[in-house]
Copies of this chain bind each other. A is one copy, B any other.
Amino acid sequence: MSTIARTPTDDATRADRTWTLDPDRALPADPAVRPIAREIYAETKALPLVSMHGHVPVEWFAEDRPFPNPADLIVVPDHYLVRMLVSQGVPNELLGVPAAPGSGVVAETDPRAIWRRFCAGWKHFRGTATRFWLETELVEIFGVTLRPAEDTADAIFDQVARAIADDAFRPRALLDRFDIEVLATTDPAWSTLEHHAALAADGYGDRVVPTFRPDPVVLLDSATWGQDVERLGEAAGEDVSSYRGYLAALRTQRLRFKAAGARATDHGHLATDTTPLTDAEAAGIYGAALAGTLGPGDADAFAGHMLFQMAAMSAEDGLVMQLHPGVLRDHDRGRHAVFGPDTGFDIPVVTEYTRALRPMLEAFGHHAGFRVVLFTVDEDAFSRELAPLAGVYPSVRLGAPWWFLDAPDAMRRFREAVTETAGFSNMSGFVDDTRAFCSIPARHDLARRVDAGYLARLVAEHRLDLDEALDTAVDLAYRLPLAAYATR
């Protein structure tokens, strides 16, 4: 029997090897496929990054300040990373996630202590996408050569801290270093977009663009709906005490976003329903929401109605509509009360598309001005519903594997599930969807590697010619996201 067996080894004690990145990482191992995958990957690895959907705060670029410290750059804001450590018994507050005043919970404020907890838990990331991104990011961007562990934590912290103190690591410099051609931020519907205006004044107007996100003013059961709608009205200069004024405010703000370079809107409803109400019904529910007298089902009905309205406005103004449905946010309401949203407790649910999208697609599915990009975290829908829909409606593009599915095996499953029905031309191409700015190059790189592997297998199985695979790889990495997110 192996001696390792009964003596649990602590990975944290094994920091004796130098950390390097293999050039073939995430390419298929099969010796008949890997050389082809290398050739295909070589075609895309140096392409500029097109980042059409993400959550990096626009202030970072507008203000262009140095990043504060390794923990606040890499650990605290990354809910993928935080949730894994929480699952292993490290509570959010010990990872520096700010707790609500009055909650009695006090967040760790020592970045080095947070960083040590992260490094001590490195073992738990084995096999995850987070591991791949962090490894690439730490080695390639920050030049780390030690594998994270309890006893390497301080050295790595110091190295990253030194790096980000350098002006070459300020946000705008990194935009260049990462070769980001365009990056979309996500902005509330009531934003007046000053940060984007400031960026435009500095010549970054085409490079950092806003995205219109109206969920808080559209989901009547949002706790802050009332105040958010007021802010919408103020921003738009419209009287939102009527449903008509509310629609006008949305229209006005959409045009403001478009004028500021926005390509798209984004919608994160729980359900996918797009059934329109009559104007009278919608106005009635809207009034009830203002009066605080919503009936059961009203909020859901209004949410579906508003997706239809957003599609109608997209058909008018040409902003691309993105749907990200099917996530039950804040599954643990107790934790949400303390730590707020986006701290790891969002869990997917079964998501239906065929029937739910029918009203919207019957109305706008062939409209020349309309484009919708569909995402899911319910991967069963890929082959059953999403590929068949994308494979016939000219307005539909399939979004890249999203969130939990933005990982090597899940990305491969995505291609295998959708390509045979919908081909490649109906895809959005890669979308990184991250708030972890320094992980963006790693995320695009991983997607390009996985796509190269998938295409290489098709070539090795004589299902695609090599010239077609090379051309398709560039489509997926570069041309398709530009095309899918071109305003109409």
Q: Which A residues are closer than 8 A to B by beta carbons?
A: 1-2, 4-5, 8-9, 11, 14, 17, 21-22, 24-34, 42-44, 46-47, 83-84, 86-89, 91, 123-129, 131-132, 147, 328, 331-335, 344-350, 352, 354-355, 358, 361-362, 365-366, 377-380, 383-385, 387-394, 396, 404-405, 407-410, 413, 416-417, 419-426, 457-458, 460-465, 467-468, 470-472, 474, 478-479
Tell whether, in the assembled complex, residue A128 and residue B419 are in contact, meaning their CB atoms are under 8 Å apart.
Answer: yes
Q: Is the CB of A420 within 8 A of B424?
A: no
Chain B residues within an 8 Å CB radius of A470: 4
Cβ–Cβ < 8 Å partners of A474 in chain B: 2, 4-5, 8
Known pairs A26-B463, A463-B132; A383 contacts B396 (CB<8 A): no
- For residue A427, give the distance in angstroms from its CB to the closest CB of chain B: 10
Distance A96 CA – B87 CA, assembled complex (angstroms): 48
A140 to chain B, nearest CB (A): 14
Q: How far is the CB of A461 from chain B (nearest CB, A)?
A: 6
Given contacts A47-B1, A348-B354, contact A87 B391 (CB under 8 A): yes
**B88/A479 in contact, CB under 8 A:** no
A379 — which chain B residues lie within 8 A by C-beta? 380, 383-384
Residue of B nearest to A124 (CB): B425
The docked-state distance in angstroms from the alpha carbon of A201 to that of B240 is 77
Q: Which residues of chain B have C-beta atoms less than 8 A from A335's C-beta?
A: 366
Q: Establish whether residues A392 and B87, one from each chain, have CB atoms under 8 Å apart when the complex forms.
A: yes
Q: Please indicate the chain B residues that have their CB under 8 angstroms from the CB of A425 in the complex.
A: 87-88, 123-124
Once A4-B470, A384-B380 are accepted as A-B contacts, the answer to whether A392 and B345 lie under 8 Å apart by CB is yes
Chain B residue contacts of A409, Cβ below 8 A: 416-417, 419-420
A-B contact pairs, 6 of them (CB 8 A): A29-B457, A84-B392, A126-B468, A331-B354, A349-B352, A404-B421
What CA separation (Å) do A354 and B270 show in the bound complex?
A: 13
Q: Is the beta-carbon distance between B347 and A389 smaller than 8 angstroms? A: yes
Are the CB atoms of A420 and B129 closer together than 8 Å? Answer: yes
Distance in Å from the Cβ of A106 to the closest Cβ of chain B? 17
* A352: chain B residues within 8 A (beta carbon): 349-350
* Most B Cβ at <10 Å: residue of A4, A44, A84, A126: A126
> Closest B-chain residue to A16, C-beta based?
B467
Q: Determine whether the beta carbon of A47 is less than 8 Å from that of B88.
A: no
- Does the CB pair A471–B383 fall under 8 Å? no
A355 touches which of B328, B393, B419, B457 (Cβ 8 Å): B328
Contact call A408/B365, Cβ cutoff below 8 A: no
CA distance A404 to B349 in the complex (A): 23
Given contacts A127-B423, A391-B83, A416-B409, contact A28 B461 (CB under 8 A): yes
Is B394 a contact of A9 with CB atoms below 8 Å?
A: no
Pick from B89, B380, B426: contact of A380, CB below 8 A. B380
Residues of B within 8 A of A396 (CB): 87
Residues of B within 8 A of A426 (CB): 87-88
Give which listed residue, B14, B32, B392, B408, contacts A31 with CB less than 8 A: B32
Q: What is the CA–CA distance of A375 and B238 in the complex, to the nearest angstrom?
A: 53
The answer to whether A393 touches B87 (Cβ under 8 A) is yes
* Interchain CB contact under 8 A, A383 and B404: yes
B420 near A404 (CB under 8 angstroms)? yes
Closest to A346 in B: B388
Q: Is the CB of B128 within 8 A of A421?
A: yes
Interface pair A126/B472, CB less than 8 Å apart: yes
Please tell me if the beta carbons of A388 and B404 are within 8 angstroms of each other in the complex.
yes
Asked if residues A26 and B410 are in contact (CB atoms below 8 Å), the reply is no
Distance between Cα atoms of A129 and B458 in the complex (Å)? 12
Residue from the set A32, A147, A331, A352 with the largest chain B CB neighbour count within 10 Å: A331
Which of A30, A46, A125 is most buried by chain B, counting CB atoms within 10 A of its CB?
Answer: A30
Q: Which 3 pairs show the lowest CB-CB distances between chains A and B?
A: A29-B460, A407-B420, A25-B462
Interchain CB contact under 8 A, B87 and A394: yes
Max count, chain B CB within 10 A of own CB: residue among A14, A335, A390, A461: A461
Q: Is A347 a contact of B127 with CB atoms below 8 Å? A: no
Interchain CA distance A311-B458 in the complex, whole Å: 42
Asked whether A420 lies within 8 Å of B127 as measured between CB atoms, the reply is: yes
B391 and A84 contacting across the interface, CB-CB below 8 Å: yes
Q: Out of B355, B404, B416, which one reaches A387, CB within 8 Å?
A: B404
